[in-house]
């Protein structure tokens, strides 16, 4: 690269060391974070590494998002840089760096500049900021907030503008932010971050609607799918009502009232979440008759999992359907545990009716670990451990193979106390294994609760 550069540039140009410029970009982790302090007549820039960075910027007063050529370089070994603007007062104007994201770096402004950008985004002029920079602003602000370098309140002010945004590119960083925090959804409840997201999604769907239109481009279609998906995940009832209406229409004539492939999961899962008993039963009957086993997993989406479990238990008693039901009941049990074990009513029902609800095809340990992984409070974990200590005989009977049990009995036939000691140790080992898993899960829950707390700062 050095040779190619020297062959192409005029001799009057200053000589540069390509290796010296490129090494920081290749050898350092992540990418630069510029801290920008906007003052009335000058801008101070702090670089957190040794990168040589091409700077581009624009201002509210002299707005130009099309000029992407480098205005200045942040030089090697110089992590502090000042841009003087003698002819430009920056008092009442925002400054945005990294035009159209042509540079590979993040930018953190002083609070006043962030708020000026937020006010502009929340005005009718927001489209005057290039869509790539609108996306960059949300992306940088979110990562700074997670790193505790930006106040949550400022992120809220910036992202509030998305309620009027319909461009998929601008929405993309927020979609990825929601995905990043999706593991915290069970803890959100009334958390501020959930309120922020819902307040943005609702106006968006009011604008673009739930139904696809022939004139929609692919970006709008993708944005609609993401918006509908996350609105339902966050528990919006209107979203689920739309889904169950679509589901009923589909079930009336599944051969002719077909669903677009990318809308099936939403229609089945979120529709069943609020479906009544009649619709649930009709759904089960339709796909059992058609032997379409792929559809069974969506039953776990229902807000009536006890009804589903009881129905399947009854169906298993039918010899003609035993194989079909038993085969899918294992998966259904796992899906229900994943979605509903956090619900105390469901957890109590499963534990209190263990022999009935646990599929015979899986071990007690396997079933318990599945439940442990999907509860979200210390009290629920305590409840599981109490249950475990009360089913010692079940643990021994189910999880110790007959060969081992027979071996213990034959080797200790002349020593009843010895046999009892060996069996007790096996049971104790199993209980300790479960307790270890419970402790790991409790640590995870505490970390999640702490992470969720960051959203309230």
- Please check the confidence at residue 437 and state whether its pLDDT lies above 90: no
Distance separating the N- and C-terminal Cα atoms of the chain: 48
- Please check the confidence at residue 358 and state whether its pLDDT lies above 70: yes
- Please check the confidence at residue 315 and state whether its pLDDT lies above 80: no
- Report yes or no: 280 and 260 within 8 Å, Cβ to Cβ: no
pLDDT tens sequence across 223-272:
999 999 999 988 888 999 999 999 999 999 888 999 999 999 999 999 99
Q: What is the 3-state secondary structure (H, E, C) of the chain?
A: CHHHHHHHCCCCCCCCCHHHHHHHHHHCCCCCEEEEEECCCEEEEEECCCCCEEECEEECCCCCCCCCCCCEEECCCCCEEEEECCCCCCCCCCEEECHHHCCCCEEEECHHHHHHHHHHHCCCCHHHCCHHHHHHHHHHHHHHHHCCCCCHHHHHHHHHHHHHCCCHHHHHHHHHHHHHCHHHHHHHCCCHHHHHHHHHHHHHHHHHCCCCCCCCCHHHHHHHHHHHHHHHHCCCHHHHHHHHHHHHHHHHCCCCCCCCHHHHHHHHHHHHCCCCHHHHHHHHHHHHHCCCHHHHHHHHHCCCHHHHHHHHHHHHCCCCCHHHHHHHHHHHHHHHHHHHCCCHHHHHHHHHCHHHHCCCCCCHHHHHHHHHCCCCCHHHHHHHHHHHHCCHHHHHHHHCCHHHHHHHHHHCCCCHHHHHHHHHHHHHHHHHHHHHHHHHHHHHHHHHHHHHHHCCC
Q: Which tokens is 212 given?
A: 């696809």
439: left (phi over 0), alpha (psi -120 to 50) or beta: alpha
- Please check the confidence at residue 60 and state whether its pLDDT lies above 80: yes
pLDDT tens sequence across 65-109:
998 888 788 775 566 667 766 556 677 789 999 999 998 899 999
Percent of the chain whose predicted confidence (pLDDT) is above 90: 38
Q: How many residues does the chain have?
A: 457
Tell me how far apart the alpha carbons of residues 269 and 280 are, in angstroms, rounded to a whole number.
Answer: 11
Q: Which tokens is 314 given?
A: 């009854």
Tell me how far apart the alpha carbons of residues 448 and 187 are, in angstroms, rounded to a whole number.
Answer: 8
Residues 182, 141, 31: CA angle, nearest 5 degrees: 95
Give the model's confidence band at 11: pLDDT under 50 very low, under 70 low, under 90 confident, else very high.
Answer: low
The reported pLDDT for the residue numbered 392 is 61
pTM of the prediction? 0.78
The reported pLDDT for the residue numbered 285 is 80
Over residues 265-282, the mean pLDDT reads 92
Over residues 336-360, the mean pLDDT reads 90
Tell me how far apart the alpha carbons of residues 191 and 194 are, in angstroms, rounded to a whole number.
Answer: 6
Cα radius of gyration rounded to whole Å, the chain: 30
- Please check the confidence at residue 413 and state whether its pLDDT lies above 60: no
- Please check the confidence at residue 387 and state whether its pLDDT lies above 80: yes
Over residues 434-452, the mean pLDDT reads 77
């Amino acid at each position: 690269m050095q040779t190619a550069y020297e062959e192409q540039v005029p001799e009057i140009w200053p000589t540069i060391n390509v290796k010296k410029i490129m090494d920081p970009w290749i050898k350092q982790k992540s990418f630069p974070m510029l801290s920008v302090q906007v003052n009335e007549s000058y801008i101070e820039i702090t670089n957190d590494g040794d990168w040589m960075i091409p700077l581009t910027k624009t201002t509210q007063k002299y707005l130009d998002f099309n000029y992407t050529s480098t205005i200045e370089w942040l030089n090697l070994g110089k992590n502090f840089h000042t841009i003087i603007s003698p002819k430009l007062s920056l008092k009442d104007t925002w400054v945005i760096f990294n035009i159209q994201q042509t540079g590979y770096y993040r930018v953190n402004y002083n609070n006043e500049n962030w708020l000026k950008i937020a006010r502009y985004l929340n005005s009718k002029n927001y489209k005057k900021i290039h869509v790539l920079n609108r996306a960059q602003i949300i992306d940088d602000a979110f990562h700074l907030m997670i790193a505790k370098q930006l106040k949550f309140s400022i992120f809220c002010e910036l992202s509030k503008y998305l309620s009027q945004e319909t461009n998929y590119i601008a929405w993309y960083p927020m979609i990825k932010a929601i995905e990043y925090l999706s593991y915290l959804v069970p803890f959100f409840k009334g958390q501020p971050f959930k309120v922020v997201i819902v307040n943005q999604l609702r106006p968006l769907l009011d604008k673009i609607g739930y139904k696809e239109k022939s004139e929609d481009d692919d970006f709008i279609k993708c944005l609609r799918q993401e918006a509908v998906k996350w609105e339902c995940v966050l528990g919006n009832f209107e979203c689920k009502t739309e889904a169950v209406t679509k589901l009923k229409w589909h079930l009336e004539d599944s051969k002719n009232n077909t669903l677009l492939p990318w809308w099936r999961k939403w229609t089945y899962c979120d529709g069943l979440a609020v479906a009544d008993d009649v619709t649930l039963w009709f759904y089960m009957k339709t796909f059992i008759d058609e032997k379409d086993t792929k559809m069974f997993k969506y039953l776990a989406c229902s807000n009536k999992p006890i009804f589903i479990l009881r129905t399947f238990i009854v169906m298993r008693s039918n010899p003609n359907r035993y194989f079909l039901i038993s085969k899918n009941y294992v998966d259904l049990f796992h899906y229900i545990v994943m979605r509903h074990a956090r619900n105390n009513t469901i957890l109590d029902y499963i534990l209190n009716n263990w022999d009935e609800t646990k599929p015979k095809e899986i071990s007690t340990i396997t079933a318990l670990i599945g439940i442990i992984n999907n509860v979200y409070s210390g009290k629920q974990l305590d409840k599981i451990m109490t249950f475990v200590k009360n089913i010692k005989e079940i643990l021994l009977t189910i999880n110790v193979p007959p060969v081992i049990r027979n071996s213990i009995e034959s080797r200790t036939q002349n020593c009843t106390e010895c046999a009892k000691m060996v069996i007790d140790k096996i049971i104790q080992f199993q209980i300790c294994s479960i307790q270890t898993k419970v402790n790991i899960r409790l640590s995870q829950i505490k970390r999640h609760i702490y992470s969720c707390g960051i959203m309230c700062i």
